[in-house]
Amino acid sequence: METSDKYLFKYRGCCFIQNMVTPEYIDSLEDFEIKDSDVFLVTFPKSGTIWTQNILSLIYHEGHRNGTEDMELADRVPWIEYNIQNVDYVNRPSPRLFSSHLPYHLMPKGLKNGRGKVIYVARNPKDVLVSYYHFSKVSVLLEEVEDFDAIMEKFLAGRVLGSLWLDHIEGWYAQRDNMNILFLTYEEMKKDLRSSVLKVCDFLGKRLTEEEIDDVVDKASFGKMSVDRRTNYTTMPPDVLDFSKGRFMRKGTVGDWKNIMTVAQNERFDSVFKERMEKLPFKFCWDINDEL
């Protein structure tokens, strides 16, 4: 164990939630056997994970689209690294859909060797930070840091869930030629959800009718997801999420960082992130009105 506090512990360079996973389990994931049909959704926390989990579930499950099946997203697209309910992941019916915040280096070997498929969703890190800041109030499992400056320093130092944003995205991007991976951004999903859904279907080789695509797009809208208990996390127990402190489906927009970060904080953020970010090929969009 590298470091540990009341909320997070760091193991092999990555921060995990206390009591949700053990180092032994993390180590065991390297040998978790990957099938060609497996689909992994990978994100840095607060980058649109539940949004994409919902999209994947809607694409794969007709019963979700037409409302005949009522299943939690966490059961449809469960976390590979947080198997709290001890589900038999090995024998889940194919295609097995998984979510993960893991950095590339902790992933199963099979995935690194090109088996399975990965969808990596990235979001501009200032909005990620702001979303994380608000979420840390709602989440009982994360340290609540009232002072934005303090949480920003933790974020810039990688002392948050998911560790350092730059390491996460760089680590995954560096392996793009060795695996089946689709990169999407939160911002492109926000600007044109239908095109993003089509991209995902294309990547996964899923053929949906126009009508079915319409349905996925409609049910994955912020408005619909905010009022659906399967997609707004309101079924979570109060010892995990405290909704008196805020909502999980908060604003769902691009550029909210401008409402909270001061000019000095923005400059400080850029001084740490800008150089490495400029080397990434993603066109991050920093304002809802910006062109992509």
**Catalytic residue set:** 101
Q: Which lies closer to ligand A3P via its Cβ, residue 74 or residue 107?
A: 74
- State the minimum distance, in angstroms, from the CB of residue 224 to ligand A3P: 8
Tell me how far apart the alpha carbons of residues 12 and 187 are, in angstroms, rounded to a whole number. Answer: 31
- State the minimum distance, in angstroms, from the CB of residue 252 to ligand A3P: 3
**Residue sitting closest to ligand A3P (CB):** 252
DSSP for 88-108?
A: -STTSPSSPEEEE---GGGS-
- State the minimum distance, in angstroms, from the CB of residue 248 to ligand A3P: 7
Give the pair of three-digit tokens for residue 127: 């909005």
Q: Which lies closer to ligand A3P via its Cβ, residue 43 or residue 185?
A: 43
Q: Which residues bind ligand A3P (CB under 6 A)?
A: 43, 45-51, 127, 131, 134, 190, 220-222, 225, 249-252, 256
- State the minimum distance, in angstroms, from the CB of residue 197 to ligand A3P: 12
First to last CA, the chain: 41
Tell me how far apart the alpha carbons of residues 197 and 214 are, in angstroms, rounded to a whole number. Answer: 10
Nearest CA to 254 out of 136, 134, 164, 126 is that of 126
> Torsion angle of alpha carbons 95, 99, 102, 107, nearest 10°?
-10
Q: Which lies closer to ligand A3P via its Cβ, residue 49 or residue 163?
A: 49
